[in-house]
Amino acid sequence: MIGRFACVRLALAVLMLHPTDVLRQVTAQARNAPRPPWNKGIQPISAESYYNAIECGKQGGADPPCVFWDTGLCQNPDFVLTVYTAYKSVAYEVWRVVSQKQPAPTPSYGDAQRTRITIAIKPARGSKNPLTNLVLKRVGRTTMAVERSVSTEGGRFTFDYPAFAPSTDVTLDLVGQSATISCRIPRAVLTTFR
């Protein structure tokens, strides 16, 4: 019995010294069948995806999956993720205006062309694990954000499009002060991202 208690105390001491070594794993889930259908993953805006995003935004409703495809992405008790892309910025702008019973606008194609992928991370309600970093990995290699900011309210991490190409799985390590949440995004789920 003494040996077991000593092991438990040692394990607790290690966790106290290295709290971010605690790793929880989740797998990203895709939202149900957004319309219009999409299986090309996140890409820079093109004529096809631009008009597709406008049609998506015209659908209206409280929570159209083609606009809010990232709702519940990497669901966990500590962090809430929102992904911003060129497609989403166009679709969201149209949806926002149409939801106010106004005619659909024509968002700036030039602005959409300049939009990169940004992951915004906020603490989940009741979380006691403040964010310290986001690490994106593909095939075991880390992809650095081109811009990043972290504060007590969360963080924003901007990436170029190749970071989310649907060619292999992607892992997002959401590094908190007391634990890291590792979210695996399977290739099949990446293809549904817009």
Q: What is the pLDDT of residues 75-84, one digit of tens each?
A: 999 999 999 9
pTM of the model: 0.84
Q: C-alpha 185: how far from its chain's center?
A: 10
If you average pLDDT over residues 140-148, what whole number do you get? 95
CA distances from 132 to 24, 124, 166 (A): 16, 14, 27
pLDDT in tens, 27-76: 998 777 666 677 889 999 999 999 999 999 998 789 898 899 899 999 99
Query: HSE of 186 in the Cβ direction (CA atoms, 13 Å)?
Result: 7
For residue 17, the model assigns a pLDDT of 41
No. of helices (H) and no. of strands (E), the chain = 5, 9
**DSSP summary character for residue 13:** H
Taking alpha carbons only, the member of 75, 69, 82 closest to residue 24 is 75
Residue linked to tokens 């000593």: 6
If you average pLDDT over residues 153-167, what whole number do you get? 96
Taking alpha carbons only, the member of 186, 171, 185, 188 closest to residue 23 is 171
Q: How far is the C-alpha of 177 from the C-alpha of 129, rounded, in Å?
A: 6
Q: Are 94 and 56 in contact (CB under 8 A)?
A: yes
Task: Give domain limits for the chain.
Answer: 18-190
**DSSP summary character for residue 30:** P
Look at residue 131 and tell me whether its pLDDT is greater than 90: yes
If you average pLDDT over residues 145-163, what whole number do you get? 96
For residue 31, the model assigns a pLDDT of 79
For residue 36, the model assigns a pLDDT of 66
CB within 8 Å of 130: residues ≥ 6 apart: 123, 152, 176, 177
Look at residue 156 and tell me whether its pLDDT is greater than 80: yes
Q: What is the mean pLDDT of the chain?
A: 88
**DSSP summary character for residue 143:** E
Token reading at 73: 């992405």
